[in-house]
Chains A and B, each alone.
Chain A
Amino acid sequence: MGIIDLQENDKLIKEMTAKRPLAAVPFAGRYRLIDFSLSSMVNSGMDTVGILLPTKSRSILDHLRSGKDWDLARKHDGLFYLPPAEAENGLRNGDIQSFYRHLDFIENSSQKYVLISGSRIVYNMNFENVLRFHQNTGADITMVYNMESTENTSGGTVIKTAENGLVQDIAVQAVTYEDAKVAMGIYLMDKNVFTHIVESCFSHGGTNFLIDGLMHVDDSYSIYGFKHDGYVARINSTASYYKASMEILNPEIWQEIFMNVDRVYTKVKDEAPAQYKKNAKATNSLIANGCVVEGTVENSILFRGVKVGKGVHVKNSIVMQKCDLQEDALIENVICDKNVVITHGKWLKGASNYPLIVEKGIVI
């Protein structure tokens, strides 16, 4: 069974998470961040998935609904919502408390293994390989990591492993450097191991599964690291969101993530195919169905149902669902959240290392 923990830190990506959890942030023209972990789970043959809901959960519930678009609306198993635990006397926060409250759900399930994942990371991975690794190494806990190719200032969990994959050190660092083995927040273990860690962590006053749980497990548990070689993008700040979005414009990455045999699923909107008019001009862009393009689009991502009017110029920008860019408007290095209207002739520019964000529903 899979559990997706949506109680994630979203402080560095404030503008887009004011009214939605990080998991519901739109990405790549059509998806929300949660779609990547959820689709990977489904494609790996996992048919029970629990969603540990954050407090701002409406957009997630509206997105997932019965789970039908992920083939998770099933008679047995399927999609389960695990609401956040209310803090008794408000002393604790963190995910351990919520896991602890829902232990009965995990104990009562018929599955042997638990796979925990967050939703902030974009990838398309088949967890069957992780399970095979887990069984071959005889690990109690397997955590998935990837090698970072660049320095990342928004931090991460860096691990050190022996040659056979045995994890020797886990550290949360503020900056991760090139060639670091950075954990992806994906943990696979036997469900008894999981229950034991959560129980002992909760009774010792812990709050966070990684810090108080995994980093403090006694030596009787062996932790192994599984290296994922595919594309990985961590979304934990506005800058990393923008960078990852621009990376998706690389046809090789687009191909790897989306045109894989294992598809990425999302809520179906039944939009008509994108329509290009006579004077349309589009280069190096991702354009979703339901868009009508009459202007110029360059190095940009247009979500479903975006209108690009005559004479409009969109450059290095991300334009979310149902935005309306009216005649002769110009946007460059801008992220427009859903339903934004840029009226006739307005120009908006951000910087390439710091895009301008227009909040949901604003009319400019």
Chain B
Amino acid sequence: MWCCKQKSMKTIPGGVFMRKTECLAMILAGGQGSRLGALTKKIAKPAVPFGGKYRIIDFPLSNCSNSGIDKVGVLTQYRPLELHSYLGTGGAWDLDRNGGGVFILPPYAQEKGADWYKGTADAIYQNINFIEITNPEYVLILSGDHIYTMDYSWMIESHKMNKGEATIGVIEVPWEEAPRFGIMSTDKKGRITEFAEKPSKPKSNLASMGIYVFNWKFLKRYLEEDAKDSVSNHDFGKNIIPKMLAADAKLFSYAFDGYWKDVGTIDSLWEANMDLLKENPSLNLHDPLWKVYSVNPSLPPHYVASTAKVTSSIISEGAMICGEVENSVIFHGVKIGKGAKIINSVIMPFTNIGENAYIEKAVVAQNCEIGSGTKIMSEDNSVIVVPEGEIVLAENSNKQVG
């Protein structure tokens, strides 16, 4: 089940020994996440806080670490400062390893000039040098904006058993939602016969999770071809996979049946947070064998005062709760004043909520000051967002912020 077996040693320029890697993971973390609006004004989507103490990128990173993958490239581009400093040397995910660990890969300048990553496939293409040095058998492509816990080693195992050239992670979605996803049709053995991006009349309800295992040599050939194609969007879903299918390559599906959610929009981010509050949440964050790691803020257990009332919620370290919290996610270092009421909301790190404030169905980003007596809720039952560092006072509340 270990997917990083040591094979042979290879010296890279600089004299560092790097072991032959069985599987290298590449996390696409450069997206702007424009559909998250106000939440991603200052930070990249993978750095957006989630679930009381995490950031979105903790999920794929922890999955890699727990699946025994010890070399992970993180491709960054949009607003990378906070993301880079959060990743550090990767120690929080046990990925500060000799000759491995986390490699941060932002776009860089070459002799001919500098280029941004033009798409998911182009981002990988521009890092062919890095991958060649790592010298992997397989490359696992992940995305930095999904919430799930998954053991990739089983997927790689299945890829090997099928002797496939590529394996795509798929999940069953409700039929009515299928038109929002990339939909796969497969034969009985799981071999992919057809792929349709956001089909209006889906032939199946197996959606692509944006998780791919490729034989590196096979993928490299397609990336090089795609780079020459001037009309291509350089995107895995739109270009690379259809080209592979057209060439009748051996593409297999790997069905995942756990919790998986794309948190690319405000609504889905809010929903995914609310999913954690169910009596029996389908995403188990308390599994001692599959911990989701994150950078530790060194804060004490949270304090609930005698005036507090907390039900169906999750609350993290360093929070001080003096008011009422119902069905909400409270991050570390949040203060909630006496008489305040928080319902169906997500309050991100170090936000202060004044006394007698009322917040319903809102996502309040980090370091906000919500004045006493402020009322924050939307009139049309949509999720209301308060962007990072905002100061909201009672007199100008109830407006649509962000």
In the assembled complex, which residues on chain A have CB atoms less than 8 Å from the CB atom of B285?
272-273
- CB <8 Å contact, A270 and B317: no
In whole angstroms, how far apart are the Cα atoms of A304 and B313 in the complex? 17
Task: From the candidates B298, B301, B332, name the one contacting A29 in the complex (CB within 8 A).
Answer: B301
Q: Which residue of A lies closest to B295 (CB)?
A: A268
- CB <8 Å contact, B53 and A273: yes
In whole angstroms, how far apart are the Cα atoms of A362 and B51 in the complex? 33
In whole angstroms, how far apart are the Cα atoms of A88 and B52 in the complex? 55
In whole angstroms, how far apart are the Cα atoms of A249 and B305 in the complex? 9
In whole angstroms, how far apart are the Cα atoms of A259 and B332 in the complex? 12
- CB <8 Å contact, B314 and A286: no
- Is the CB of A292 closer than 8 A to any CB of chain B? yes
How distant is A112 from chain B, measured CB to nearest CB, in Å?
A: 29
How distant is B288 from chain A, measured CB to nearest CB, in Å?
A: 8
Contact with A along B176-193 (1 / 0, CB 8 A): 000000000000000000
- Is the CB of B79 closer than 8 A to any CB of chain A? no
In the assembled complex, which residues on chain A have CB atoms less than 8 Å from the CB atom of B304?
282-285, 287
- CB <8 Å contact, A275 and B286: yes
- CB <8 Å contact, A274 and B302: yes
In whole angstroms, how far apart are the Cα atoms of A78 and B306 in the complex? 42
In the assembled complex, which residues on chain B have CB atoms less than 8 Å from the CB atom of A284?
304-306
A288-B303 contact, Cβ under 8 Å, with A263-B298, A278-B311, A283-B308:
no
- Is the CB of B208 closer than 8 A to any CB of chain A? no
- Is the CB of B312 closer than 8 A to any CB of chain A? yes
In the assembled complex, which residues on chain A have CB atoms less than 8 Å from the CB atom of B332?
273
Question: Interface centre among B292, B296, B302, B311, by most A CB within 10 Å?
Answer: B302
In the assembled complex, which residues on chain B have CB atoms less than 8 Å from the CB atom of A257?
300
In the assembled complex, which residues on chain A have CB atoms less than 8 Å from the CB atom of B315?
273-274, 276, 287
How distant is A259 from chain B, measured CB to nearest CB, in Å?
A: 7
Task: From the candidates B276, B292, B309, name the one contacting A270 in the complex (CB within 8 A).
Answer: B292
In whole angstroms, how far apart are the Cα atoms of A270 and B53 in the complex? 10
In whole angstroms, how far apart are the Cα atoms of A268 and B94 in the complex? 12
Q: Which residue of A lies closest to B53 (CB)?
A: A273
- Is the CB of B21 closer than 8 A to any CB of chain A? no
- CB <8 Å contact, B53 and A251: no
- Is the CB of B91 closer than 8 A to any CB of chain A? yes
- Is the CB of A264 closer than 8 A to any CB of chain B? yes
Main secondary structure, interface of A, reads: loop
In whole angstroms, how far apart are the Cα atoms of A8 and B304 in the complex? 34
In the assembled complex, which residues on chain B have CB atoms less than 8 Å from the CB atom of A264?
298, 300
Task: From the candidates B291, B300, B305, name the one contacting A30 in the complex (CB within 8 A).
Answer: B300
In the assembled complex, which residues on chain A have CB atoms less than 8 Å from the CB atom of B305?
251, 283-284
- CB <8 Å contact, A278 and B312: yes
A277-B316 contact, Cβ under 8 Å, with A254-B303, A290-B286:
no
A254-B300 contact, Cβ under 8 Å, with A272-B52, A278-B279:
yes
In whole angstroms, how far apart are the Cα atoms of A121 and B258 in the complex? 47
- CB <8 Å contact, B320 and A280: no
- A278-307 interface (Cβ within 8 A of B): 278-290, 292, 301-304
- CB <8 Å contact, B310 and A302: no
- Is the CB of A258 closer than 8 A to any CB of chain B? yes
- Is the CB of A11 closer than 8 A to any CB of chain B? no
Question: Interface centre among B51, B311, B320, by most A CB within 10 Å?
Answer: B311
In whole angstroms, how far apart are the Cα atoms of A30 and B303 in the complex? 13
How distant is A345 from chain B, measured CB to nearest CB, in Å?
A: 22
Task: From the candidates A251, A255, A287, A292, name the one contacting B301 in the complex (CB within 8 A).
Answer: A287
- CB <8 Å contact, B311 and A292: no
In whole angstroms, how far apart are the Cα atoms of A286 and B303 in the complex? 5
- CB <8 Å contact, A28 and B301: yes
- CB <8 Å contact, A251 and B320: yes
Task: From the candidates A251, A265, A266, A304, name the one contacting B303 in the complex (CB within 8 A).
Answer: A251
- B273-303 interface (Cβ within 8 A of A): 276, 279, 285-286, 291-294, 296, 298-303
- Is the CB of B318 closer than 8 A to any CB of chain A? yes
Task: From the candidates B52, B286, B301, name the one contacting A286 in the complex (CB within 8 A).
Answer: B301
In the assembled complex, which residues on chain B have CB atoms less than 8 Å from the CB atom of A301?
301
- CB <8 Å contact, A302 and B311: no
Question: Interface centre among A264, A265, A278, A302, by most B CB within 10 Å?
Answer: A278
In whole angstroms, how far apart are the Cα atoms of A286 and B306 in the complex? 11
In whole angstroms, how far apart are the Cα atoms of A255 and B299 in the complex? 11
- CB <8 Å contact, A287 and B302: yes
- Is the CB of A196 closer than 8 A to any CB of chain B? no
In whole angstroms, how far apart are the Cα atoms of A361 and B301 in the complex? 23
How distant is A240 from chain B, measured CB to nearest CB, in Å?
A: 20
In whole angstroms, how far apart are the Cα atoms of A264 and B301 in the complex? 12
Q: Which residue of A lies closest to B62 (CB)?
A: A270
How distant is B72 from chain A, measured CB to nearest CB, in Å?
A: 17
- Is the CB of A74 closer than 8 A to any CB of chain B? no
- CB <8 Å contact, B53 and A289: yes
How distant is B121 from chain A, measured CB to nearest CB, in Å?
A: 34
In whole angstroms, how far apart are the Cα atoms of A251 and B294 in the complex? 27
- Is the CB of A19 closer than 8 A to any CB of chain B? no
Q: Which residue of A lies closest to B312 (CB)?
A: A278
- CB <8 Å contact, B293 and A289: no
- A1-51 interface (Cβ within 8 A of B): 28-31
In the assembled complex, which residues on chain A have CB atoms less than 8 Å from the CB atom of B311?
276-281
How distant is B320 from chain A, measured CB to nearest CB, in Å?
A: 7
In whole angstroms, how far apart are the Cα atoms of A333 and B53 in the complex? 31
Question: Interface centre among B292, B298, B305, B318, by most A CB within 10 Å?
Answer: B298
In whole angstroms, how far apart are the Cα atoms of A275 and B305 in the complex? 17
In the assembled complex, which residues on chain A have CB atoms less than 8 Å from the CB atom of B293?
270
How distant is B287 from chain A, measured CB to nearest CB, in Å?
A: 9
In the assembled complex, which residues on chain B have CB atoms less than 8 Å from the CB atom of A287?
301-302, 304, 315
Q: Which residue of A lies closest to B310 (CB)?
A: A276
- Is the CB of A346 closer than 8 A to any CB of chain B? no
- A135-168 interface (Cβ within 8 A of B): none
In the assembled complex, which residues on chain A have CB atoms less than 8 Å from the CB atom of B307?
283
- CB <8 Å contact, A276 and B318: no
Question: Interface centre among A28, A275, A285, by most B CB within 10 Å?
Answer: A275
In whole angstroms, how far apart are the Cα atoms of A306 and B193 in the complex? 49
- A239-272 interface (Cβ within 8 A of B): 249, 251, 254-255, 257-259, 263-266, 268, 270-272
- Is the CB of A58 closer than 8 A to any CB of chain B? no
- CB <8 Å contact, B300 and A29: yes
In the assembled complex, which residues on chain B have CB atoms less than 8 Å from the CB atom of A285?
303-304
- Is the CB of A68 closer than 8 A to any CB of chain B? yes
A-B contact pairs, 11 of them (CB 8 A): A28-B300, A272-B285, A273-B314, A273-B332, A275-B276, A276-B313, A276-B315, A281-B309, A282-B310, A283-B306, A289-B301
Q: Please give the residue numbers on chain A whose beta carbons come within 8 Å of chain B beta carbons, in ascending order.
A: 28-31, 68-69, 249, 251, 254-255, 257-259, 263-266, 268, 270-290, 292, 301-304
Which 8 pairs between the two chains have the least Cβ-Cβ distance?
A273-B52, A272-B285, A29-B301, A258-B300, A288-B301, A273-B316, A263-B298, A284-B306
Knowing that A30-B317, A254-B303, A275-B314 touch, tell me 4 more A-B residue pairs with CB under 8 angstroms: A255-B320, A265-B298, A288-B317, A289-B301
